């Protein structure tokens, strides 16, 4: 394909050079089964533990608190189902939000169907949960609170530390889980400061490979994993560990040493993009949202039509979550946007490899799309 302009980084990212290098090195030299007792297996296990330590350091966790999974989705499922089943004798209430990723919402709906009481908190127009409503929802019967750190469609940053404080105030037995798939590698994360017991993340959102994620589980958190098998990852996620993917994840993490610098650069790009779009688009993302995500509505034009027009110019954006497959956004519905705004919404998601020149091309193409499509109608 000719040169393309990619602004769909919240769906997936292009693997970085270090990730590719580490993957290839592992495929060539560390291909033994990490569970084997011979030298080849021990080499692989040593590399996996090296990656575990690298990831733990990046979020201020202990090495033994990191468990590798096949995806962010799997990490979310293990955390939610595992926590609920471990604590079901101590309470029945689960608190979450109406704007979670489907891997969280569907897992919780399964628990709701099996008798758990679930509170779905509604956000404001920018996708932010009210800390007071969150506090009010947590009581002594609450066994799990699951709130995403960053929303994948709007970039809204949620009040996780307030949730941790509310659990303490209510003297609840609850474990606090956060889906950090859109936050890890973009925002500085300190699990001790956040106060979370469980945190999920994914490799392919940060220029690592697909098929790898991890679950942070604090030493004090006990869960009953729904995954059965040979007991790898201390029984949290059985199955032969994919050494090449794990090494690729470590390679991606190693390229994130200048996180705050990247964050400032991306924020400048986002503000520049907003300045060029605000005259003919409505901005759906809030002023305090994550710099990496910008949701706008090109009111009067269907998202799908806009997407295909941009694609014809080798410019790629999204109409929302890649997991939604064209369905109307439950996130934007929960925020109170009307159907016209939702049907014309697009998500522009940045990476550290994007440039102002690419934003100019995107904004000019969007303006061109409006002029062209208006004539067509």
- For the segment 200-209, the average pLDDT, to the nearest whole number, is 98
Which residue from 60, 105, 69 is spatially nearest to 196, judged by alpha carbons? 60
Which residue from 94, 74, 73 is spatially nearest to 83, judged by alpha carbons? 94
Pairing state of beta strands 315-316 and 5-6? parallel
Average pLDDT, the chain: 94
At 34, the pLDDT band (50, 70, 90 cuts) reads confident
Which residue from 292, 244, 249, 297 is spatially nearest to 268, judged by alpha carbons? 292
Which residue from 304, 361, 303 is spatially nearest to 337, judged by alpha carbons? 303
Tell me the pLDDT tens digit for each residue of 163-184.
999 999 999 999 999 999 999 9
91 CB contacts (<8 Å, ≥6 apart)? Answer: 140, 141, 142, 143, 172, 173, 174
Which residue from 211, 249, 253 is spatially nearest to 57, judged by alpha carbons? 253
Examine the residue annotation and report whether 54 is marked as an active-site residue of this protein. Answer: no
Tell me the pLDDT tens digit for each residue of 360-369.
999 999 999 9
Helix or strand (DSSP H, E) at 95: strand 93-97
At 323, the pLDDT band (50, 70, 90 cuts) reads low
Pairing state of beta strands 93-97 and 66-69? unpaired
DSSP string, 216-274: EE-TT-----S--SS-TGGGTS-S---HHHHHHHHHHHHTTTTHHHHHHHHHHHHHHHH
Q: Specify the pLDDT at position 377.
A: 41
Q: Specify the pLDDT at position 235.
A: 85
Q: Is the pLDDT of residue 94 over 50?
A: yes
User: Of 233-242, 243-252, 305-314, 330-339, where does mean pLDDT reach its minimum?
Assistant: 233-242
Domains defined along the chain, listed by start: 5-14+258-376 (3.90.1150.10), 17-254 (3.40.640.10)
* Whole-number Å distance between alpha carbons of 178 and 175: 10
289 CB contacts (<8 Å, ≥6 apart)? Answer: 126, 127, 154, 155, 156, 157
At 375, the pLDDT band (50, 70, 90 cuts) reads low
Q: Which of the residues 323, 335, 363, 370 is marked catalytic?
A: 323
* Whole-number Å distance between alpha carbons of 230 and 247: 22
Q: What percent of the chain has pLDDT over 70?
A: 97
At 41, the pLDDT band (50, 70, 90 cuts) reads confident
Q: Is the pLDDT of residue 321 over 70?
A: no
Instruction: Tell how far CA 99 is from the center of its chain.
Output: 12
At 376, the pLDDT band (50, 70, 90 cuts) reads very low
* Whole-number Å distance between alpha carbons of 212 and 201: 9
Q: Is the pLDDT of residue 195 over 60?
A: yes
User: Of 38-42, 262-266, 302-306, where does mean pLDDT reach its minimum?
Assistant: 38-42
Phi, psi angle pair for 246, to nearest 5°: -65, -45
At 258, the pLDDT band (50, 70, 90 cuts) reads confident
Q: Is the pLDDT of residue 263 over 80?
A: yes
């Amino acid at each position: 394909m000719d040169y393309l302009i990619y602004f769909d980084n919240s769906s997936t990212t292009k693997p970085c050079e270090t990730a590719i290098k580490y993957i290839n090195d592992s495929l060539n030299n560390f291909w033994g089964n990490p569970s084997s007792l011979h030298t080849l297996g021990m080499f692989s296990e040593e590399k996996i533990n090296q990656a575990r330590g690298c990831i733990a350091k990046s979020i201020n966790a202990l090495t033994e608190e990191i468990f590798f999974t096949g995806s962010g989705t799997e990490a979310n499922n293990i955390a939610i189902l595992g926590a609920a089943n471990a604590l079901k004798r101590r309470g029945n209430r689960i608190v979450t939000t109406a704007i979670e990723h489907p891997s969280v919402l569907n897992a919780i709906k399964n628990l709701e169907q099996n008798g758990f009481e679930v509170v779905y908190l509604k956000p404001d127009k920018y996708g932010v949960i009210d800390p007071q409503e969150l506090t009010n929802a947590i009581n002594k019967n609450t066994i799990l609170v699951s709130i995403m750190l960053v929303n994948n469609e709007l970039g809204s940053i949620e009040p996780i530390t307030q949730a941790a404080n509310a659990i303490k105030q209510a003297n609840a037995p609850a474990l606090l889980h956060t889906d950090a798939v859109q936050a890890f590698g973009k925002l500085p994360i300190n699990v001790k400061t956040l106060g979370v017991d469980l945190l999920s993340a994914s490799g392919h959102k940060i220029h690592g490979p697909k098929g790898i994620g991890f679950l942070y589980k604090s030493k004090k958190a006990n869960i009953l994993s729904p995954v059965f098998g040979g007991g790898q990852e201390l029984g949290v996620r059985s199955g032969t560990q994919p050494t090449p993917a794990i090494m690729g994840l470590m390679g991606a993490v190693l390229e994130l040493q200048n996180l705050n610098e990247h964050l400032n650069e991306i924020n400048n790009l986002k503000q520049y993009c907003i300045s060029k779009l605000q005259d003919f688009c409505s901005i759906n993302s809030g002023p305090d949202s994550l710099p990496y995500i910008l949701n706008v509505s090109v009111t009067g034009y269907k998202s799908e039509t806009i997407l295909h027009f941009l694609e014809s110019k080798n410019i790629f954006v999204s109409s929302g979550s890649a997991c939604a497959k064209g369905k109307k956004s439950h996130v934007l519905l929960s925020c109170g946007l009307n159907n016209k705004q939702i049907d014309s919404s697009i998500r522009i998601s940045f990476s550290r490899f994007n440039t102002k020149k690419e934003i100019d091309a995107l904004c000019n193409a969007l303006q061109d799309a409006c002029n062209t499509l208006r004539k067509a109608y």
